[in-house]
């Protein structure tokens, strides 16, 4: 059996190393930080949403939309659950989102590290990998600490998201030197910054609603859930879900508008009738008072200000036009998105190594035989909800297996 070297000790790297070792290879895991799996500890707010039972091709995004699903089908969420159960992690299901029952992300990292040790994977930390060079028979990895030889190499160096965890984008340089094309790497699953000054007055508000994002008049994406309003713009899971499309549009220098609908279950005319009936039922109330109990006070105060209505104006004196204007504020609240937050705040990046240069069944490089890829370094990003870790487990498994097969034939 040959030697497989894995570059990067994140989720995908550990999965690749474990799989190759389980298949019988001698495995080296090279990590430039002082320990492996730092990012895993921050996942799911420290609880690690490690997969999701709802799986569909649209949960994964790429320039080549069919590419991720071919890999997920080889090792899906059920296989992930069984894999972790075997290592000791019992899963807890919250609306399809799976977490370790312990509620601790550290449990996931602990069992992975124990499995690496059980399989005698040689983990070398503090090793900065810089280049992979193909020799006649072997591959060599140039590192800050000298050359490392292997029969197959799996590049799992992550993206640029959360650089403090070690994902500093250096993996893209290694891939580029081998001839791979890198698609623009942009923050995804991230908060969006908006131009309007009024955000300071509504910071801290959380409201159920739908966010739709438009670039040059075209709807890019939409999602519903709890929207969080911050001093600089918008956040929350629905905002995260649409953010990769916004990052791409802004990168293309397009003008991006986000439209917030705070009453998505009501059609505009239904809402108009609902507000009218509410006013009639409480005629003594002011414009400010009749919204109490319907929306967060900071939000209704802002709408009254934007509509330039006197606060003490009686609601029953509102004209049909003014009620229509309220309906627009509630259902069609438009803000201008100026940027996505940076890599430091992003949970993942979209873009990365173009999958056109990668074998879709084995994740092997089409330019350098014996080099495989896994994880976020590839141009694949998942929706929020456990899909990015699922991509790391699936791709790590596929690359680990294929690399072991390759190494055994050298
Ligand atoms: C705050 C936060 C919360 C998240 N929560 C969730 C969640 O709940 N569920 C979910 O599915 N996803 C979540 N994600 C996303 C998920 O964590 C990542 O998609 C996944 O961990 C990526 O794994 P990876 O192995 O591809 O990359 P990484 O985890 O980034 O690992 C890459 C590794 O390679 C090392 N490395 C990089 N370059 C080199 C080099 N040149 N030489 C040697 N080593 C190198 C890095 O130090 C790092 O250890 C979250 C992300 C963040 C930041």
Q: What integer pLDDT is reported at residue 232 of this predicted model?
A: 98
Distance 40 CA to ligand 1 centre (A): 7
**What residues flank ligand 1, with Cβ below 6 Å?**
7-13, 30-33, 39, 42-44, 48-49, 128-129, 156-158, 161-162, 165-167, 170-171, 347-348, 375-376, 386-389, 392
For 197-251, how does the pLDDT look when each residue is reduced to its tens digit (9 = 90+)?
999 999 999 999 999 999 998 999 999 999 999 999 999 999 999 999 999 999 9
Helix (H, G, I), strand (E, B) or coil at 406: helix
Which residue did the predictor score with more confidence, 228 or 291?
A: 228
Q: What integer pLDDT is reported at residue 270 of this predicted model?
A: 97
- CA dist 52 and 245 (Å) reads 22
Q: How confident is the model at residue 290 (pLDDT cuts 50, 70, 90)?
A: confident
- Give the whole-number percent of the chain exceeding pLDDT 70: 100
Q: Whose CA is nearest to atom 11 of ligand 1?
A: 386
Distance 321 CA to ligand 1 centre (A): 51
Q: What integer pLDDT is reported at residue 245 of this predicted model?
A: 98
At how many degrees (to 10) do helices 387-409 and 77-87 cross?
80
Alpha carbon of residue 19 to chain centroid: 24
Distance 298 CA to ligand 1 centre (A): 37
The maximal CA–CA distance of the chain, rounded, in angstroms, is: 87
For 153-175, how does the pLDDT look when each residue is reduced to its tens digit (9 = 90+)?
999 999 999 999 999 999 999 99
Q: What integer pLDDT is reported at residue 283 of this predicted model?
A: 86
Distance 39 CA to ligand 1 centre (A): 5
Atom of ligand 1 nearest to the CA of 15: 25
Atom of ligand 1 nearest to the CA of 44: 8
Give every strand in the sheet of 3-7, ordered side by side.
122-125, 26-31, 3-7, 152-155, 371-373
Q: What integer pLDDT is reported at residue 267 of this predicted model?
A: 97
Atom of ligand 1 nearest to the CA of 166: 47
- Residue 287: is its pLDDT beyond 90? no
pTM: 0.96
Q: What integer pLDDT is reported at residue 191 of this predicted model?
A: 98
Q: What integer pLDDT is reported at residue 398 of this predicted model?
A: 98
Tokens of residue 396, six digits = 């790590």
Give the DSSP letter of residue 401. H
Q: Whose CA is nearest to atom 31 of ligand 1?
A: 10
Domains with residue ranges and CATH for the chain: 3-187+350-409 (3.50.50.60), 191-340 (no CATH)
Q: What integer pLDDT is reported at residue 228 of this predicted model?
A: 98
Report, as an integer, the average pLDDT of 51-70. 97
């Amino acid at each position: 059996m040959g030697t497989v070297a894995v570059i990067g000790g994140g989720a995908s790297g550990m999965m690749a190393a474990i799989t190759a070792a389980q298949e019988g290879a001698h495995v080296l895991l090279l990590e430039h930080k002082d320990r492996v799996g730092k990012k895993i500890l921050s996942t799911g707010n420290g609880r690690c949403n490690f997969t999701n039972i709802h799986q569909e091709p649209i949960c994964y995004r790429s320039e080549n939309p069919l590419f991720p699903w071919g890999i997920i089908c080889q090792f899906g969420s059920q296989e992930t659950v069984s894999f972790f159960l075997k290592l000791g992690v019992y899963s807890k299901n919250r609306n399809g989102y799976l977490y370790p029952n312990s509620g601790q992300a550290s449990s996931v990292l602990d069992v992975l590290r124990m499995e690496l040790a059980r399989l005698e994977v040689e983990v070398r930390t503090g090793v900065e990998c810089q280049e992979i060079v193909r020799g006649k028979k072997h591959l060599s990895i140039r590192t800050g600490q000298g050359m490392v030889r292997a029969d197959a190499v799996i590049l799992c160096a992550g993206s640029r998201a959360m650089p403090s965890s070690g994902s500093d984008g250096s993996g893209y340089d290694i891939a580029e030197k081998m001839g791979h094309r890198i698609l623009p790497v942009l923050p995804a699953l991230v908060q969006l910054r908006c131009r309007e000054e009024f955000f300071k007055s509504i910071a801290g508000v959380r409201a159920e609603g739908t966010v739709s994002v438009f670039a040059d008049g075209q709807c890019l994406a939409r999602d519903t859930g709890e929207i969080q309003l911050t001093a600089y713009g918008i956040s929350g899971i629905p905002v995260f879900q649409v953010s990769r499309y916004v990052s791409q549009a802004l990168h293309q220098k397009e003008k991006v508008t986000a439209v917030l609908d705070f009453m998505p279950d009501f059609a505009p005319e239904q809402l108009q009738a609902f507000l009218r009936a509410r006013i009639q039922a409480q005629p003594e109330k002011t414009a400010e008072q009749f919204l109490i109990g319907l929306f967060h006070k900071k939000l209704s105060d802002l709408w009254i200000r934007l509509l330039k209505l006197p606060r003490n104006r009686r609601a029953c004196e509102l004209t049909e036009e003014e009620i229509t204007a309220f309906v627009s504020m509630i259902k069609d609240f438009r803000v201008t998105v100026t940027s996505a937050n940076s890599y430091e705040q992003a949970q993942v990046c979209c873009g990365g190594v173009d999958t056109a240069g990668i074998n879709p069944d084995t994740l092997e490089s089409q330019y350098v035989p014996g080099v495989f890829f896994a994880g976020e370094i590839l141009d694949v990003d998942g929706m929020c909800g456990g899909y990015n870790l699922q991509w790391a487990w699936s791709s790590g498994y596929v690359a680990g297996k294929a690399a072991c097969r390759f190494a055994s034939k050298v």
